[in-house]
Chains A and B, each alone.
Chain A
């Protein structure tokens, strides 16, 4: 089911200074995608390797990827235009476990990409805590409002929503134990902190990890993470892991 194909760029949207939304055509493969999975995208012909990107949305025969311009690969991706073709491999990796009822979603920065997908696939069930550095880094607040049950925005400088990071907003909201599983994607430090918080409270917690990878299918062994069962591949055994699996959490 994992296939390599050339997808047509349907739309490129500038969301803010460095955030972009890429829309690709992908009718044949769309029904297999699940929130938490990712694709390897050939961001430019000058690059040898593809780069991993979480699925932001998969609707109406289209694939959406939200990304932040950080390095050469994402810079090059942002220069592609509608009508261009891009080689993609996927969907790859394990998805978030399907939430049975309401759940807490925690997103930091570009981690909102896979969290949005989870919220959209489970509309009206997610209590979202979404944090970024400042107002300009908070993207698609209107869309997030629609797919979440409750939306809490946090910015480090307090320019939008509550002041502080998303985890602090989550912790201050739930002094007691929220009777809900937690799904998180964002900076590693945030993921480790929320994992400890959830483990402490005995709550199920699922985190999405990332690492440099070459193949995306478990062959190159670049993207390993230490787990209680030894080293695992983020691309194949993840990118979604249960908090209790990860050493250091």
Chain B
């Protein structure tokens, strides 16, 4: 099959992505860090490091620790703040022909709203991704993601001020991802991102202290991929809005698992740290797979999973 005939484009909340490969928030800086490695216009979408109303210092070091097939991080949402992002980072991002998505969060209800409003006004930001699921913050707002009442209130208020597409990023640290997915959809989310990191811990047995200064952190990398695939499958079965799948995607085979499970697009996270060219190689791998399988349109892959009908819960 002629590669030119391949259609990898997908639509997320009214936005046309040239391919389904995005970067996961917090793993791609503000884009400029990777601009010297490849043309960022090749990306389906670029999601920037989570932004708050004011700059954030984050946690003390050590902030990362490698674990079996994964890594723990407790960066603590360090970021330059929405104002500096718009003034200093966004101009470069506007020069690329890709969809720019701003991930954001707040420490208080009001900060969520103010940050959302600022990003909604910013030219060059095509969509917003709401983070209500980072495990590395101790403040009360983290409960916005786990308390249905609070989530309804917060999402409703954000939805009221955001005209751009609003993506909600869900936490896997919940008993039932389906409930969270349905709730976010009911509250007006245009798409869902899942999963964020799984809360974890690792210990230095000689010194008997945690490896992270924050004691606990978020687990990412190949170790969490099966959990992520399962949750993407479950969520995409109960909502009608698009699901963006992420969690341990290292190569195009991993990406395909998510797409087949029902993800409309996928995001590459930890793999960017390992290999700056991961996203590009995944796009090329998807094209190769489609050529090999004689698939002209990626739509024929998305949600194409054929499940066994004799499965029982374990």
B63 touches A221 (CB 8 A): yes
Residue-wise interface mask of A (208-249) relative to B, using a CB-CB cutoff of 8 A (1 in contact, 0 not): 000111110111111110000001000010000000000000
Instruction: Name the interface residues of B116-158: CB closer than 8 Å to any CB of A.
Output: none
Residues of A near B37 (CB, < 8 A) are 2, 4
Asked whether any CB of chain A lies closer than 8 Å to the CB of B70, the reply is yes
Residues of A near B7 (CB, < 8 A) are none
In Å, the complex CA distance between A89 and B278 comes to 13
A218, A220, A231, A236 interface centre (most CB from chain B within 10 Å): A220
Asked whether any CB of chain A lies closer than 8 Å to the CB of B33, the reply is yes
Residue-wise interface mask of B (56-98) relative to A, using a CB-CB cutoff of 8 A (1 in contact, 0 not): 0110011111100111010100100000000000000000000
Asked whether any CB of chain A lies closer than 8 Å to the CB of B296, the reply is no
CB distance from A131 to the nearest CB of B (A): 25
A224 touches B64 (CB 8 A): no
Asked whether any CB of chain B lies closer than 8 Å to the CB of A48, the reply is yes
B64 touches A231 (CB 8 A): no
Contact of B273 (CB < 8 Å), options: A2, A219, A236: A219
A1, A48, A49, A50 interface centre (most CB from chain B within 10 Å): A48
Instruction: Name the interface residues of A1-22: CB closer than 8 Å to any CB of B.
Output: 1-2, 4
Residues of B near A213 (CB, < 8 A) are 64
Asked whether any CB of chain A lies closer than 8 Å to the CB of B5, the reply is no
A48 touches B70 (CB 8 A): yes
B64 touches A214 (CB 8 A): yes
CB distance from B198 to the nearest CB of A (A): 15
Contact of B33 (CB < 8 Å), options: A89, A212, A224, A236: A236
B270 touches A48 (CB 8 A): yes
Q: Which residue of B lies closest to A49 (CB)?
A: B66
In Å, the complex CA distance between A219 and B65 comes to 16
B272 touches A49 (CB 8 A): no
B-to-A contact residues, CB < 8 Å: 26-29, 33-34, 36-37, 49, 57-58, 61-66, 69-71, 73, 75, 78, 221-222, 270, 272-277
In Å, the complex CA distance between A212 and B65 comes to 8
A-to-B contact residues, CB < 8 Å: 1-2, 4, 47-50, 89, 211-215, 217-224, 231, 236
The answer to whether residues A211 and B78 also contact, given A1-B36, A47-B66, A220-B73 and a CB cut-off of 8 A, is no
Residues of A near B270 (CB, < 8 A) are 48, 214
The answer to whether residues A222 and B274 also contact, given A47-B66, A211-B61, A211-B62 and a CB cut-off of 8 A, is no
Q: Is the interface of B mostly helix, strand, loop or mixed?
A: loop
Total residue contacts A-B, CB cutoff 8 A = 81
B58 touches A224 (CB 8 A): yes
CB distance from A66 to the nearest CB of B (A): 23
In Å, the complex CA distance between A42 and B70 comes to 15
B276 touches A214 (CB 8 A): no
Q: 20 new A-B pairs (CB below 8 Å) besides A212-B65, A219-B29, A224-B61?
A: A2-B37, A2-B276, A4-B277, A48-B66, A48-B69, A48-B70, A48-B274, A49-B274, A89-B276, A211-B61, A212-B62, A212-B63, A213-B64, A214-B273, A215-B276, A218-B29, A219-B27, A224-B58, A231-B78, A236-B33
Residues of A near B73 (CB, < 8 A) are 214, 220, 222
The answer to whether residues A220 and B274 also contact, given A47-B66, A48-B69, A211-B61 and a CB cut-off of 8 A, is no
Residues of A near B277 (CB, < 8 A) are 4
In Å, the complex CA distance between A48 and B78 comes to 23
Contact of A48 (CB < 8 Å), options: B63, B71, B272: B71
Residues of A near B75 (CB, < 8 A) are 220-222
8 nearest interchain CB pairs?
A219-B29, A215-B273, A214-B273, A222-B64, A219-B33, A218-B33, A222-B63, A212-B62
B58 touches A221 (CB 8 A): yes
B272 touches A231 (CB 8 A): no
In Å, the complex CA distance between A224 and B65 comes to 14
